[in-house]
Structure 1
Amino acid sequence: MGRLDGRVVIVTGAARGQGEQEARLFAAEGAKVLLADVLDDRGEALAKELAEELGADTARYVHLDVSQEADWSTAVATAKEAFGKLDGLVNNAGILRFNELVSTPLAEFQQVVQVNQVGAFLGMKAVIPELEAAGGGTIVNTASYTALSGMSFLTSYAATKAAIVAMTRVAAMELAGKGIRVNAMCPGAIDTPMTNPAQLDPDADPEATSEAVAGLYRKLVPMGRIGRPEEVARLALFLSCEDSSYITGQPFVIDGGWLSGVPGFSAS
């Protein structure tokens, strides 16, 4: 018995990184998963792999630009056509841009808002009627450590992630009476292409890059390492299953203790 048996869940940004691990784990736990992304080749390959491993009706892929309302309508319709209903969403898709506040072009700021903040808003808006029709369900929004703590050069990103936490709280209050729980994850540094773009660079030395990243987070994070995407996936699973049945409207920090403070030097 899986913890998501009988559930149908959309996972956005599912072609790689956290979204990929969420899709893999949800499918392994019995869910039927609609993988959604703009990386069509990778997304289609992953959906095919999951279907071959776990059953033909386990996974489907749909192209979804989360900033486009029409794409959301198509995704919801695809989930219903493929699996008969919809009762879960993991709003994972997002983008990251580094820039000093005064150097951030308006177009760049608006792009991040459109994908991260508007994308999460449109996703919730699109799925809520279907979750209500299914008798209830869960929404897991992906915010960030930066929604709760300042970080230089991340004005646009932090602003969108703080907005996601706020929207999560409002949605949880509005939807509690309909049996729909809404929570947010606030990851710190996670070893994905977003935080470590060298993973996508064919000319990069993977060993040197990995060691440089590991060395940075050994200094910054109390647990002494960067997070793994499968660890975030396990939190998404917890928030999507009955283990969290009395939890809604909450931001869950998963950052190896980073929000607690930067480690100091030993007194010994």
Structure 2
Amino acid sequence: MSMRLAGRTALVTGATSNIGRAIAEAFAAEGAQVAVSGRSPERGREVVEGIRARGGLADFVWADLDGSAAASTALAREAARVLGGRVDVLVNNAGIYPGDTTAATDEKTFDEVYAVNVKAPFFLTAAVAPAMVDAGGGTIINLGSWIARLGIPVGALYSSTKGAMETLTRAWAAEFGPHGVRVNAISPGVVQTAAPGEVHPAEVMMKGTPAGRMGTPEAVADAAVYLAGDESSFVHGIVLDVDGGRTAAAVIAG
């Protein structure tokens, strides 16, 4: 590895599985000290132990990001403590996905999804970004989604929350960028891990795309390393599509 993030600290939310885990592992492999955050201590310890076994630096920080400002502020405080006093890179990855139709979505679910997917990262950023400014700079990476810009018949609630995060990315870039904090987003495509020899049901959504297949968590993690590193020092407020061409090119049914 090139150790592109050596000497930096990073907080990754929802880091105990899938994309969040891959980002935490990639950051650690590039030399960052990582706070692996999530709700499951068991899965958190597994991620941390794997990183440490490979020579990386990581600690688990429990958090239940329920959307309250108190929960987000507590995570920001504990992560900074574990990371030696500062958070250089924040990845707002944690989220929940109910795939119901609009008519089947009740008010409780609506409030919960917005609390986890929008309010929690909003108040976490509010807690972390000013400290980054005081420290002289930092990087924030939000996770959007391809269905924020390409509608599908289910999941309207989820897609709207990801649209909100992409909008916040641009607003925060304008707000914090002049003070040394770069804010960008990644919009993953269909990212799932199929069991060996099996075809995942979501595979059909990538048929006819330039890539012609589902993506991997590692592909998203590579993009996160780029946005966290010096190579992207002139990049502010973008949504980087890592979706196999799903939103950029016409899908040809075959």
Q: Write the mapping of 1:28-177 to structure 2, written as runs, cut at 5 A.
A: 28-54=29-55, 58-66=57-65, 67-84=67-84, 85-177=86-178
Distance 1:223 1:90, change over 3 A: same
SS in 2 for 1:54: coil
Q: Per-residue deviation at 1:247?
A: 0.6
Larger radius of gyration: 1
CA offsets 1:139-181 (integer angstroms, 9 cap, x no match): 0000100111111111110110000011111100011111000
Alignment correspondent of 1:196: none
In 2, the alpha carbon distance for the partners of 1:23 and 1:133 equals 25
Report the count of equivalent residues. Answer: 250
8 Å CA contact 2:16, 2:37 repeated in 1: yes
Letter in 1 for 2:223: L
8 Å CA contact 2:170, 2:238 repeated in 1: yes
* TM-score normalised per structure 1: 0.87
Letter in 2 for 1:117: V
8 Å CA contact 1:189, 1:226 repeated in 2: yes
Unaligned runs of 5+ in 1: 193-198, 200-205
CA offsets 1:41-79 (integer angstroms, 9 cap, x no match): 101221133234325xx1111111222332323322223
8 Å CA contact 2:206, 2:246 repeated in 1: no
Unaligned runs of 5+ in 2: none
In 2, the alpha carbon distance for the partners of 1:37 and 1:116 equals 14
Instruction: Give the aligned CA root-mean-square deviation in angstroms.
Output: 1.8
In 1, the alpha carbon distance for the partners of 2:243 and 2:60 equals 30
> Given the alignment of the two structures, is residue 256 of structure 1 paired with residue 232 of structure 2, yes or no?
no
In 1, the alpha carbon distance for the partners of 2:38 and 2:171 equals 26
CA offsets 1:12-57 (integer angstroms, 9 cap, x no match): 00001001110000001010100100122101221133234325xx
Alignment correspondent of 1:203: none
**Which of 210, 214, 235 pairs up with 1:247?**
235
SS in 2 for 1:13: coil
Alignment correspondent of 1:202: none
Alignment correspondent of 1:225: 213
Distance 1:214 1:78, change over 3 A: closer
In 2, the alpha carbon distance for the partners of 1:257 and 1:70 equals 39
8 Å CA contact 1:214, 1:225 repeated in 2: no
SS in 1 for 2:140: strand
Q: Which has the higher helix share?
A: 1
8 Å CA contact 1:90, 1:140 repeated in 2: yes
Q: Write the mapping of 1:162-241 to structure 2, written as runs, cut at 5 A.
A: 162-191=163-192, 206-207=195-196, 210-213=198-201, 216-217=204-205, 219-241=207-229
Q: Which runs of 4+ in 1 moved over 6 A?
A: none
Letter in 1 for 2:165: I
In 2, the alpha carbon distance for the partners of 1:167 and 1:92 equals 14
Distance 1:212 1:33, change over 3 A: closer
Structure 1 range deviating more: 239-248 or 117-126: 117-126
SS in 2 for 1:9: strand
In 1, the alpha carbon distance for the partners of 2:63 and 2:120 equals 10
Identity %: 35
SS in 1 for 2:224: helix
* TM-score normalised per structure 2: 0.92
Distance 1:75 1:218, change over 3 A: closer
